[in-house]
Each structure stands twice: as C-alpha cells, then as structure tokens.
Amino acid sequence: MQPKSWVNLTATLLLGAVLALQPAVMLAQPKLPKPGFNFFSKDQDIKLGQEAAAQVDREMPIVHNAEMEAWLKKLAEPLISQPEAGGYPFQFKWVNDDNINAFALPGGPVYMNTGLLKHADDEAQVVGVLAHEISHVALRHGTNQASKANLFSLPAMIGGAMLGDNSLLGQLGQLGIGLGLNSVLLKYSRGAESQADQLGAFLMHRAGYNPMEMANFFEKLEAITGNQKGVAAWFSSHPNPGNRVKNVQKEILSFDKRSYTRDTGQFARMKALAAKLPPPPKQPQQGAAGQASTAQIPPVSELEPPSSRAKGYQSTMYTLSYPENWQVSQGEQGSVSILPKYGVVDTGNGGSAIGYGTIITENSNNSSQRIEEVASVIAQGVVKNNPGIQVTEEPRRVMVGGKRTMLYVMNGPSAFQGQRETVVLAVIERSATDTVSLIFVAPERDFARFEPTFKNMLNSTRMK
C-alpha cells in the first residue's frame, strides 16, 4: 500500500527523539545507562573535545599547581579505569573560579572549578562530581544532544569535516554550536543528569567511594541555591532531575556489597591550597553565535531534475531506490544522506546544511513502543530542536511496504537565505524495537517539483 495522499501526510523528523525514549539499558547486574543516538563517532567526540579544550585552556584561568593537579588525577584514576567509563583519553584540570561548577567536553577533557573544592565537605563529594562528569563523557551526552538538535545539517557537515583537516568545532560553530553558556554540548537535559548520576554512582562504588556522597553534595548545592550566587552555574548546565538521594539509594541496592574506604587523606591540604590561589582574573565569556546562511536558492533552471533511472541502496535494515544522479553519503550510526549535488548548502566558513534531499536514519529502542508514540516523540524533538520548524498537519498513519508508518509534514526556515522549506518525515516501524525514518527536504518553492521523487523513494522502501 502507499500513502493515499502525500500532501496530507505529515512528516516529522527523525531521530532524535527516539533516544529520548531510551532509558537505562541492561548491562550486567545493575542496570546502567548507555550512550544514545549519535551522528558522531567516538573518535570524533575525542577530536571535538580536544579542539574545544584548546579553546577552554586559552580562555579560562587554568590552575597550574602540580600538587592540586596530581590529586585530581589520583581521584579520577579509579573511576576512569572502570570499563564503563568508556576508555576515553580523560584529562582533568582545575579552573580558578569560585563559582560552583564543573564541565566535561566530549571525548575526555574535564574541568573542575576550585569553588567546588571550597564547598565540598569531604573527598568523596569531589569524587562524586568527577564521577558525574566522567559519566557525561562516557554516555556521550554532548554529541548526543548536538545530534538530536541538528538532524538535517549534521550528517553532511560531519561527513565533510572528516574529509579534510577541518576543525569540527569550527564546523559546529556554523550551526551555532559552540562552548557558550547554552551550548547544546554542555547544557544537559534532566534525563542526561539522571543517567550521569546513575553511572557516576556505579563508578564511585567500584572505585571504593560512597556513591551517596555525590547525591548528598548535589542536594547540598540545591539547598544553598538562592543564598549563594555561585551555585547557579552548576544548575544551569546540570539541571536537577529531582529525587537524587532516593535514586542513588535505589541504585546502590543493585550493587554488590562493598565498604567505601578509599581516601587519599589529602582533602584538607587541597582545600588549603585552593584557598591560597590568587583571586581569579575577570573571565572573558565567549559563545559561538550561529551565522545566518547567506547561500542563495538556485534558480529553477539550475536544478537538474532527479533522474527517472533508479539506483538501489541497502543498509542492514532496509532497501530503497533513489534517482541515479543523486549521491549517497554515509553518516554515523546508520544515517545516510541521499542528495542532488545542489542539495548541500554552503553556509559559509566551511559549514554546510541540507537544502534538498533525503536523510535516512535507523533507530533502535530498548523497549517496544507504539509507532505513534515513537514518531510523536521524534516529531517533538525535531520541533523543539530546530527553531522555527512547525508541524503543519495532523500526523497520518500509512503503510509503506506493509509496515506501519507515521507521516508528519513540517514547515520551517530553509538553509537558503530568506527561504522556507517543506519537510516530510516518515517513521517506518521495522520491528517491535526498530524504526527507520526518512526525512525529505526541499524549499517550499520547489517541493512540488521533488515530491514525485520523494514519494518514489518512500514507496520503494522495504524493511529487511
């Protein structure tokens, strides 16, 4: 069966939201969360983190005190040596800043403000913050969020960035993703916070530190918010998921019995050293603002029509056919873009976005959910994360290759300057846990011209 009317369909967009549905995944005995959907590879996390760290090191007052640095490394060592920490090349630095905050960059660099040390009651509380930050790295929350927020533009951009020696951070800057206060890389969702607490508790447990001290410290910070302005920084990037103490208590029940005796005995000394640091210099604050594209929409005469000759594409999950004169580029984690050559829009300074074409993504959920729910979450994620995009019609149920499919139609700003685009999202149910999503994109002006091609692609899609 095919969709009755394409135009009434709806399209949503794909991926991101599915992940939001994924809670913890079973590993061994304790249920630990695992990384969600991501366009980036682990190596790209590391590359991006190192580029970002170079910027942070230039712009923030890093503490150069051998004793304090060595202690931080010593605290982190038993945490990062757990396989659940992901084997990233972690690095730990103190930042001379009285605000209570810490942050982790993708792939390993972790920064701890000295304000944390000044407010902690014991070593285990400092370790708790470290374990929490390490968990954000291991769970790849930064690039997961960036992936979910930039469904259209990232696959092509990342593919392009990997071809040359381009800076990933520079590329992301074109999407407005930088290291500023509200960066999608650093400002976590409550779901991500819960996960970081969960995995952090486990890492502490394995390392021999009482996981309750992490929850206790966060609760303590919560209690002083309002009284002490320095705490606001922590909660603006690590929003309180609620019930932290209870949740960690529950986690501990699933751990093996262990006594928590690890302690370097140097906590008081470190606090004294931190207190003696010179006052932090006034801090410059950056934030890579997104640049509006100045790319012009091509004249209609320059739009080479999609070939009527079809080529086949297949992944492990599905097959489909597409116009012979369009090109396939592989993204991460089963995402693929199939575009005409004018489909990639140069947004300036090496950045790119998709103006015409199709993005296909595979998603697996840990638990089975109704296709309507999965599709709805995906659609909401797209709307939330793509400023200006709106669902314009009620979602439609259709069948594609005998599989239940939800279709959303959306409208929003195009990658071309001053243009609007139509976006159709089809979420096809492959199995109880797997979906394949296709996003079709074209400027509003040209959507009707591409609609037959998009329709043929959708109707040719078969699950394997």
User: Contact positions toward Zn ion, by CB under 5 A?
Assistant: 188, 193, 196, 238
Q: Residue 33 or residue 331: which is nearer to Zn ion going by CB?
A: 33
User: In Å, how far are 105, 110, 143, 226, 326 from 178, measured between CA atoms?
Assistant: 11, 16, 12, 28, 32
Q: Residue 123 or residue 193: which is nearer to Zn ion going by CB?
A: 193
**From the CB of 78, what's the least distance to Zn ion, in Å?**
20
**From the CB of 196, what's the least distance to Zn ion, in Å?**
5
Minimal CB distance residue for Zn ion: 238
**From the CB of 238, what's the least distance to Zn ion, in Å?**
3
User: In Å, how far are 193, 213, 327, 347 from 130, measured between CA atoms?
Assistant: 13, 12, 44, 38
**From the CB of 168, what's the least distance to Zn ion, in Å?**
22
**From the CB of 115, what's the least distance to Zn ion, in Å?**
16
Q: Residue 196 or residue 439: which is nearer to Zn ion going by CB?
A: 196
Q: DSSP string spanning 41-72?
A: -HHHHHHHHHHHHHHHHHHS-B---HHHHHHH
Cα–Cα dist 71/92, whole Å? 10
> Residue 317 — φ and ψ, nearest 5°?
-100, -30
Q: Residue 245 or residue 328: which is nearer to Zn ion going by CB?
A: 245
**From the CB of 54, what's the least distance to Zn ion, in Å?**
23
User: In Å, how far are 103, 158, 402 from 135, measured between CA atoms?
Assistant: 11, 24, 41
Q: Residue 139 or residue 168: which is nearer to Zn ion going by CB?
A: 139
Angle at 114 between CA 146 and CA 65, to 5 degrees: 110
* Residue whose pair of structure tokens reads 């797997």 in the numeric block: 434
Taking alpha carbons only, the member of 418, 417, 439 closest to residue 427 is: 439
CB atoms within 10 A of CB 432: 11
Q: Residue 78 or residue 239: which is nearer to Zn ion going by CB?
A: 239
> Where does 355-446 show beta strands of DSSP type E?
357-364, 390-391, 396-400, 403-413, 420-429, 434-443
> Where does 56-192 show beta strands of DSSP type E?
91-95, 102-104, 109-113
Q: Residue 70 or residue 245: which is nearer to Zn ion going by CB?
A: 245
**From the CB of 215, what's the least distance to Zn ion, in Å?**
13
